Amino acid sequence: MTRSPSPSSGSFRLFGVPVRIHVSWILLALFLAWSLAAGMLPAVHEGLPRGAYWGAAVLIVLGLGASIVLHELAHTLVGRAMGVRVDRITLFLFGGVAELSEEPTRPRAELAMAVAGPAFSMVFGLSLAALAGLLEQRPEFAGAQMALDYLATLNLVLAGFNMAPAYPLDGGRVLRALIWMATGDLDRATRIAARAGEGLALLLMGVGGLVLFTQGAAGGLWWILIGLFLHSAARGAIADLDTRRMLAGRPIAELMVRDVETVPDRFTLDRFIDERLLGSRHALYPVEREGRWIGVVAPEDVLAQPRDRWAQMTVGEICRPAAETPAATLLEDAGAVMTRMRSQNTPRMPVVHAGAVVGIVTLQDLLRSLDLSRRFGRTPG
């Protein structure tokens, strides 16, 4: 449960939850299928036709993807039942993530969400192992039995590894929730759990380096990559914590850019380009109709339209509706806004009051403000 990279290469919905497939997962799936069919499966299960190995490899890869998505779906459904909004699930190189709009506000919600994923993987893995056992005496199902055996093991490993008490793994979130319950201090709990995550990351990188240089195994490099990812995520959690502390209690109105250049919805695209875009070169323009905000338009939205229609099409026709645009309110906590921008991969966000855009906040400006405040020892704003 954390932020995920972009871009995605495909998406679908499962129980109403958007699921994205990142291009890195597709590359990993292709490599995993080849390594299973060409080496791992024939070495363990000898004497089977080549097609059986490839069939089992494909089943394993598809089953692994499904297992990770269902693991994250367990987090998501429990989170939604506890009142935590989850935007989407993303399948990527290092597994899967349930992207949260905001962190849980109660330790019990954090604990329930964190336990749900590994609990599902454990039950699912045992169920697959039992099914594989039923097929063990059926030679005609040798490929399916191989696949089920591997998937059972992978699900059990997934459950066990994720329960390591190191943030941002599920076990780290369990640790954070328990410390939060005991102390009532979320910041302290986050810092302790994230430090544990850094420790595990360094251990994984150390073990990976030892394996890589003593045995020359590619698995060593994989452990190093996982360690680097966990270390980055743990450091990011500590940075987010420091950010929230520095911005806590400060309304976004104090840090937003007040000089907002809007565009009337009746402007044609040609007029928008000539009178707004070429002169100011902003990356985002709020669109207004009779003084009320109805959406936003960006240069890429114009470029996506046929050039021979620019003289006839209006900005109001192509703008992204306000209802679908992430926005902040004038008195919203600046730390919460920054967390939301990061989790939603939103580099800039309009600030809205009484139905009108009164400012623009950009992630770059917030980060610059934080950097200056750290260097000069002053509170931003």
Give 222-258 pLDDT, tens digit per residue: 888 889 989 988 888 887 777 777 777 788 888 888 8
Using the Cα atoms of residue 344, residue 103, residue 161 and residue 133 in order, give the sign of their dihedral: negative
Distance CA 88, CA 214 (A): 41
Residue 77: count of CB within 10 angstroms of its CB: 18
Burial of 45 (0-12, 13-18, 19+ CB in 10 A): middle
Report the C-alpha gap between 62 and 55 in whole angstroms. 11
The region of weakest confidence among 34-38, 78-82, 298-302, 326-330 is 34-38
- Cα–Cα–Cα angle for 82, 74, 19, nearest 5°? 105
Hey, how many other C-beta atoms are within 10 angstroms of the C-beta on 229? Answer: 16
User: Which tens digit of pLDDT belongs to each residue from 107-136?
Assistant: 999 999 999 999 999 999 999 999 988 887
Percent of the chain with pLDDT over 90: 38
How large a percentage of the chain has pLDDT more than 70?
94
Peptide bond preceding 42: is omega within 30 degrees of 0, i.e. cis? no
For residue 6, the model assigns a pLDDT of 46
- pLDDT higher than 90, residue 180: yes
- pLDDT of the residue at 4: 46
- Can you give the pLDDT at residue 194? 93
Average pLDDT over residues 169-185: 94
Reference 53, options 140, 150, 146, 148; nearest CA is: 146
Q: Report the C-alpha gap between 359 and 256 in whole angstroms.
A: 6
Q: Which of 179, 175, 361, 329 minimizes the C-alpha distance to 255?
A: 361
pLDDT range class, residue 286, cuts 50, 70, 90: very high
Rounded to the nearest 5°, which phi and psi values hold at 19?
-120, 125
Q: Could you tell me where the DSSP H helices lie in 82-106?
A: none
Least Cα distance to 250 among 333, 328, 327 occurs for 333
Residues 6+ apart with CB under 8 A from 51: none
Q: Give the per-residue pLDDT at 78.
A: 92
Closest of 345, 314, 351, 315 to residue 331, by C-alpha: 351
In this structure, which topology does domain 252-376 adopt according to CATH?
CBS-domain (3.10.580)
Q: Is the pLDDT of residue 148 over 70?
A: yes
pLDDT(205) > 50 = yes
| Per-residue pLDDT at 27 | 85
Amino acid letter, 67: S
For residue 277, the 8-state DSSP code is I
**How confident is the model at residue 1, as a pLDDT?**
53
Left, alpha or beta for 16 (phi > 0: left; psi -120 to 50: alpha)? left
300 is catalytic: no
pLDDT at 114: 93
Q: Are 128 and 151 in contact (CB under 8 A)?
A: yes
3-class DSSP state for residue 353?
Answer: strand
Mean of the pLDDT values across residues 60-75?
Answer: 90
- Which among 206, 70, 190 has a CA at the least distance from the CA of 128? 70
Domain ranges of the chain: 8-247, 252-376
| Segment holding 289, helix H or strand E | strand 285-289
Tokens matching residue 165: 């008490």
pLDDT over 70 (residue 326): yes
Mean pLDDT of 4-15: 61
Q: Say yes or no to pLDDT of 381 above 70.
A: no
pLDDT of res. 380? 57
Cβ-count burial of 100 within 10 angstroms (0-12 exposed, 13-18 middle, 19+ buried)? buried
Degrees to nearest 5, angle at CA 169 with 165 and 175: 35
pLDDT in tens, 288-315: 998 899 999 999 999 999 999 999 999 9
Give me the pLDDT at residue 7, please.
46
- Separation between Cα atoms, residue 138 and residue 133, nearest integer Å: 10
Q: DSSP characters for 66-79?
A: HHHHHHHHHHHHHH
| Residue 377's pLDDT band (cuts 50, 70, 90) | low
pLDDT for 333 equals 85
Provide the 8-state DSSP code for 283.
Answer: S
The per-residue pLDDT for 124 is 94
Comparing 7-11, 290-294, 326-330, the range with the smallest average pLDDT is 7-11
pLDDT tens digits for range 89-110: 888 777 778 777 667 888 999 9
Q: Which of 110-114, 143-147, 354-358 has the lowest mean pLDDT?
A: 143-147
Catalytic residue among 46, 72, 103, 110: 72
Structure tokens at 270: 């040609």
Mean pLDDT of the chain: 85
